[in-house]
Amino acid sequence: MSDRDTRHKHAMQRLKAHVDEKVAGATEQRGLLLVFTGNGKGKTTAAWGTVTRALGYGYRVGVVQFIKGLWECGERERLAQDPNLEVAIMATGFTWDTQNREADTQACREVWAEAARMLADPEVYLVVLDELTYMLKFGYLDIETVKRAIERRPSEQTVIVTGRNAHRELVAMADTITEMQEVRHAFNDGLQARRGIDY
């Protein structure tokens, strides 16, 4: 074995010991609260990736789409036939298109009722609250209502919240938080949003 190969083997042994130690230290099993936030691309996309993953094992999944509901959505189309997936959509579209606080608030509360039902259902393994953060920011929903529903959910249920500027109380509750930071975005360089990639 060459020196380089030997060094590689030793480095990998140290890495394996580190990984094994971490795995052995993780003993608690329950549903998680994940928050995907930050200004970069990938928050909603990672949520849909997780939906696909959970459906792959036959788990029941609920997705609630705040804001982007009227957009074309390739992943929704792809998975729509799955009997284990339920999608609830806030049907007003972007809040900067409607420009109507009262109508948006009403639409938000209607779709939140669907979310609350999913969050109370022990048969639902994963609930995605996509773009929920904006509902709190705009005051369409209050944080106490949201917190209570998430706290009281069945212990095996995982919840994913996506959106920029996650409310500090949601962040405080979360088990895992990833900040998707924009290092560069093609859109800012004049490249169009791409079908099947960006939406």
Q: Does 93 bind its own copies (CB under 8 A)?
A: no
Whether 48 is catalytic is no
Catalytic residue among 96, 102, 184, 195: 96
Whether 41 is catalytic is yes
User: 112 or 125: whose CB is closer to its own copies?
Assistant: 125
**CA distance linking residue 90 with residue 160, whole number of Å:** 17
Catalytic residue among 36, 66, 95, 131: 131
Is-contact 171 38, C-beta < 8 A?
Answer: no
The kind and range of the H/E element at 8 are helix 3-25
Q: Does 144 bind its own copies (CB under 8 A)?
A: no
**CA distance linking residue 150 with residue 120, whole number of Å:** 9
Catalytic residue among 7, 16, 30, 53: 53
Among 88, 90, 118, 126, binds its own copies (CB under 8 A): 126
Binding residues among 1-60 for its own copies as defined by CB under 8 A: 4-5, 8-9, 12-13, 15-16, 19, 22-23, 25-32, 34, 36, 38, 40-57, 59
Residue 126 DSSP symbol: E
Binding residues among 152-171 for its own copies as defined by CB under 8 A: 158, 171
Nearest residue to 154 via CA among 180, 111, 181, 125: 125
